[in-house]
Amino acid sequence: MLVAAEWLYGTAFFSYLVTSILYIAGVTGKKIKIENGTAASNKWTRVGYWVAIFAVAVQLAGFLARWIGGGHAPVSNMFEYMSFWAWAIMLAFVVISAFYHFPILGAFAAPTALAVLGYANVFPDVNMSLIPALKSYWLYIHVTTAALGEGVLTIAFAAALMHLLVITEVNMPDKRSKWLEFVLFLFITLIGFVFISLMYKVQGYHVSDPVTGNVYKLPPVIGSTGTDVGSLATLFGIPLPLFNVPSWMTWGKAPIRLNTLLLTFVVSIILYLVLRLLNRKPLVRTVSAWVKGLDAPSLDELSYRAIAIGYPIFTLGAIVFAMIWAQEAWGSYWSWDPKETWALITWLYYTLYLHLRLQRGWEGERASWLAVAGFVVILFLLVGVNFLIVGLHAYA
């Protein structure tokens, strides 16, 4: 069963990739007619949509197979959780596309889901038996509902980004187009991280530091305090680490994390520069050409609708069910654990969005920027907290 699950997850991953390619090919192939503010679908995007549905179905099958094979719902480690989030994004895209006809949305939503699924694969995909605190149905309910809410909110991000690309005059080198370019760069950063992590994971790379016992899964450019420069490994003949972390950064796995951040940053810059050179103009101009002519208010509305649908689901899953689970497992419905606190912060953030939009008239551009930044908040909730903050939460 677990083998089948692995195979199904692999197929899903491949289908995400195909969907993304089809959609991007569809919008770049100049075959999409944009008339009266709406885009007609073409062969590419129609096939893309069916592949997306296939991907959702296959991953659901994989999810169930893994559940049966592993004996517990596969949402109990980072690989499983991130995969589920990617699935939720894809599902939200498929469902919302059925109601709102925006084939171009796929060119943004599918790559996002693909990046998230890629990120999931950075983590070990072993089926772990559960520690006692995770053996609870409330946990499954909490985690899946929260992921669904986050998936819908991610669609809001994609629509808001499209909206910004439509309304921004990208040929002007002003602040707005610079910020949009920066958003694209951030996306490349995510891809860059997934890329190097997967590359070294496939090789089974790991270097352990004899001084601290830390295990590096990426070339150790930065060493812990006390580790001799050049004593750990080499990269292209350069002895590593090149330098040590500042002496105050000694706790826990801080050096490893700093190392990962640095490498991600370097790889992302290289990746960006390569794309930028190939493109010969800011990336934002190319991407905005895909969406030029779309009806901006409809995209704004779509983004808002996605938040209006996602917010109650997020409240239910990430706050209410989380409280019930915490009550059952730890004996206290709220203990200000970093993950819990960040769920609240995310909730407050979208609360602000709704009040600003509905009560203060923040529609259009400002609302879209808020929705785009909201994705960063969600990313921090799901990735940053685990990566940067040491908490008591279940997933290590």
Partner 1 sequence: MTTVVRRRRTLTTWLWDFFASIKVAIVIIALIAISAVIGTILPQENFIPSLNPGAYYPQTYGTFGEIYYTLGFSHMYTSWWFVSLMLLLGISLIICSLERVVPLYKSLQRQQIKPALSVIQRKEIYVPAAGADETAVDKLIEELTRRKYKVRREGTSFMAERMRISRFGAYILHIGLIIIILGALSRLIPGWYVSKNIWVEEGQTVSVTGSEFFVRNDDFIVEFYDDGRPKHFETKAVIIDGGQETVKQSIIVNSPLKYKGFMLFQANYLPPMLRTLDLELTEKDSKQTLGKFTMDFSNMQTEYKAGEYTVRALDYFPDFVFGNDGPTTRSTDPNNPVLLIQVEGPGIEKPLKQWFFPLNQMVLEQESKYELVPFGGRMVETTGLRVQKDNGIPIVYGGSVVVLAGLVLVFYFQHKRIWGQLHDGVLHVGAHTSKNWFGMRKDMEKIFQSVGMPVEVSLNKRGKK
The binding site for partner 1 (CB under 8 A) comprises 129, 131-133, 135-136, 248, 251, 297, 301, 308-309, 311-312, 315-316, 319-320, 323-324, 327-338, 341-342, 344-345, 348-349, 351-352, 355-356, 359-360, 385, 389-392
| Nearest C-alpha neighbor of 287 from the set 279, 278, 295, 299 | 279
Which is closer to partner 1, CB of 2 or CB of 64? 2
CB of 352 to partner 1, least distance (A): 6
CB of 114 to partner 1, least distance (A): 29
Which is closer to partner 1, CB of 29 or CB of 312? 312
CB 170 within 8 A of CB 282: yes
Spatial distance between the Cα atoms of 245 and 211, rounded to a whole number of angstroms: 14
Structure token digits, residue 341? 């606190």
Which is closer to partner 1, CB of 148 or CB of 196? 148
CB of 359 to partner 1, least distance (A): 5
Which is closer to partner 1, CB of 205 or CB of 333? 333
Spatial distance between the Cα atoms of 343 and 83, rounded to a whole number of angstroms: 19
Q: b/e string for 86-97 if b means 16 or more Cβ within 10 A? A: bbbbbbbbbebb
- CA-CA-CA-CA torsion sign (113, 118, 124, 125): positive
CB of 374 to partner 1, least distance (A): 12
Spatial distance between the Cα atoms of 269 and 330, rounded to a whole number of angstroms: 43
CB of 312 to partner 1, least distance (A): 4
CB 385 within 8 A of CB 378: no
Which is closer to partner 1, CB of 129 or CB of 171? 129
